[in-house]
Structure 1
Amino acid sequence: MSSSAVIYHIVGTDTDVGKTLATACLASALEQAGKRVAIYKPAQTGVGPGQPGDADFAAYLSGARAFEGSRASRPLAPVAAARLDGFTLPSLQKHAERIGLLSADYDAVIVEGSGGVTVDMAEGEPGSTYRPYNHAHLIELLTQAGHRAKTFLVARSGLGTLNHCQLTVSYLSQLNLPVEGLIIGSWPAQPSYIEESNVCALTEMGYRVLARIPAGLGRGFSAGESHDLLWPDAALEDFRVTAQQLFGALVA
């Protein structure tokens, strides 16, 4: 059964493009708007027991609550990581059910994918013909169940991003899944001609560049490598001020 909660999907053109920081900024802006926010990571990889994962980090920065669908220790795509750790990933239906339950308790649920949008977060029966089970298909399931969805695409700023953005948006469009706009996951303090040119080109192509997250905003966090989340209160406050400036208009 659907709810009044909005489900925000953070999808990426690739890995390490800034999805977790985009998730944290969006969650922080929603929290500051008085919303109760849950962050759900269907498939966390490369993180051991007790270590903070992407959802934990985003929740720490924003004040939201973190949830994971699965966790594997190897820094690989979810299917390969789960196989090496000896377990089977939850099905897309299980993820959809979990997100549905969260949407009953929270005003907003942010779902952060793994890697690029076509990376599988579930797999079929052993021996069956391959078919994709990725974040786009999870969005489809949730939409069919009546949930309100907004999808944001996170991309890098440098060379290659024009191709990656067009391919990703084209893939989502084939599934009739609209994208609200693009977020640059790490924008340098002194952007080069390449970065500035990319933003101009994306705008000319008809894409909405909604936000540019300043490089270094995450203060060096890396899932699987960072063990403690101990920012000074002033640094957390600075982050939340920046998040509001960047994403406040998106949640108004």
Structure 2
Amino acid sequence: MPAVVWFDVTVIVITGTSTGVGKTIVTSAIAAVAMAEGRRVAVIKAAQAGLEPDGTGDLDVVRRLAAPTTTRELARYLEPLAPATAARRSGMPTVRPADIAAAAVELEESHELVLVEGAGGLLVRFDDDGATIADAAWAMGVPVVIVAQAGLGTLNHTALTAEVLLRRGINTVGVVVGSWPADPDLATRCNVEDLPVAAGAPLLGVLPEGAGGLDGPAFLEVARHGLSPWFGGEFDPEQFAKTYSPS
């Protein structure tokens, strides 16, 4: 099995091109593979805005799929809104980039990998001053993984996200597709080659639709198969592109 190629990276921010693109599943996959390699992993949810009908949130999914060493939720808002809006409506405190950075630095002392999952897309506001998860990544000086959709429209969303990161001097590790459909259409198949161009960074994984419904051991196998060797997985973007080539 390929070795993990973490280099000196111990903190990674996971952002999405929008909400509902699979950030939590990708976060869980990275955590699951790292845990299987014997690493101590912490997962931070910067702000949980909105809950499932049973009262659970994203970290409950992460714990079920990956069982990381530590999980920490910095704020929980009941309404499914941008964190700044949800905080204002609830009268609860906002989450600042400094809060995210402080939590990551603390957990980095006792863990070999800290994953910080944002809320919604890259520029969703966390407070009324306009702070975003991009500000937290910049303040920490850590790289970002972009989680993107598979189908039509994803190239524009990915390019916009990548351009903001580039302009702010934040390193984009790569892009991961959070939910690959069982029967991909033409646009989706073409996007396999076009997404790295839009992101200005390599395609580091593709996770199948429905992966979040698996149990822990089955999810780990899917994670290994769907993530690049950079994360300790087996995903080969060139072979994947050949398999789904539209020509």
Residues 161-172 of structure 1 aligned to structure 2 (within 5 Å): 161-172=154-165
Task: For residue 19 of structure 2, give the secondary structure of its aligned residue in structure 1.
Answer: coil
Instruction: Tell me the TM-score normalized by structure 1.
Output: 0.83
Task: For residue 14 of structure 1, give the secondary structure of its aligned residue in structure 2.
Answer: coil
Measured after TM superposition, the shift of residue 47 of structure 1 is: 2.4
Task: For residue 147 of structure 2, give the secondary structure of its aligned residue in structure 1.
Answer: strand
Which amino acid in 1 is paired with 2:150? S
Residues 213-232 of structure 1 aligned to structure 2 (within 5 Å): 213-219=207-213
> Residues of 1 paired with 2:96 and 2:204: CA distance?
32
> Residues of 1 paired with 2:228 and 2:169: CA distance?
27
> Does residue 157 in structure 1 map to residue 150 in structure 2?
yes
Pick 1 or 2: higher relative contact order, CA cutoff 8 A, min separation 6. 1
Deviates more, 1:50-59 or 1:89-98: 50-59
Deviations along 1:76-115, one digit per CA (max 9) or x if unpaired, are 1101111111112132212211111111121111000000
Task: For residue 187 of structure 2, give the secondary structure of its aligned residue in structure 1.
Answer: helix
> Residues of 2 paired with 1:89 and 1:40: CA distance?
16
CA contact (8 A) 1:48 1:72 kept: no
Task: For residue 125 of structure 2, give the secondary structure of its aligned residue in structure 1.
Answer: coil
> Residues of 1 paired with 2:54 and 2:107: CA distance?
23
The unaligned stretches of length 5 or more in structure 2 are 1-7, 233-247
Deviations along 1:18-37, one digit per CA (max 9) or x if unpaired, are 00000000000110111101
Query: Paired residue for 1:227?
Result: none
* Selected match of 1:176 from 158, 161, 169: 169
Instruction: Tell me the TM-score normalized by structure 2.
Output: 0.84
Query: Paired residue for 1:26?
Result: 30
CA contact (8 A) 1:40 1:111 kept: yes
| Residues 1:121 and 1:188: Cα distance change in structure 2 (over 3 Å) | same
* Selected match of 2:96 from 80, 83, 91: 91
Measured after TM superposition, the shift of residue 7 of structure 1 is: 0.5
| Residues 1:160 and 1:69: Cα distance change in structure 2 (over 3 Å) | same
* Selected match of 1:142 from 118, 140, 143: 140
| Residues 1:103 and 1:140: Cα distance change in structure 2 (over 3 Å) | same
CA contact (8 A) 1:89 1:121 kept: yes
* Selected match of 1:191 from 163, 184, 189: 184
Task: For residue 180 of structure 1, give the secondary structure of its aligned residue in structure 2.
Answer: strand
| Residues 1:136 and 1:63: Cα distance change in structure 2 (over 3 Å) | same
CA contact (8 A) 1:5 1:109 kept: no
CA contact (8 A) 1:32 1:244 kept: no
CA contact (8 A) 2:205 2:228 kept: no
| Residues 1:158 and 1:50: Cα distance change in structure 2 (over 3 Å) | closer
> Residues of 1 paired with 2:228 and 2:220: CA distance?
10
Which amino acid in 1 is paired with 2:135? H
Query: Paired residue for 1:247?
Result: 227
> Does residue 40 in structure 1 map to residue 44 in structure 2?
yes
Measured after TM superposition, the shift of residue 241 of structure 1 is: 1.3
CA contact (8 A) 1:211 1:246 kept: yes
> Residues of 1 paired with 2:221 and 2:179: CA distance?
17
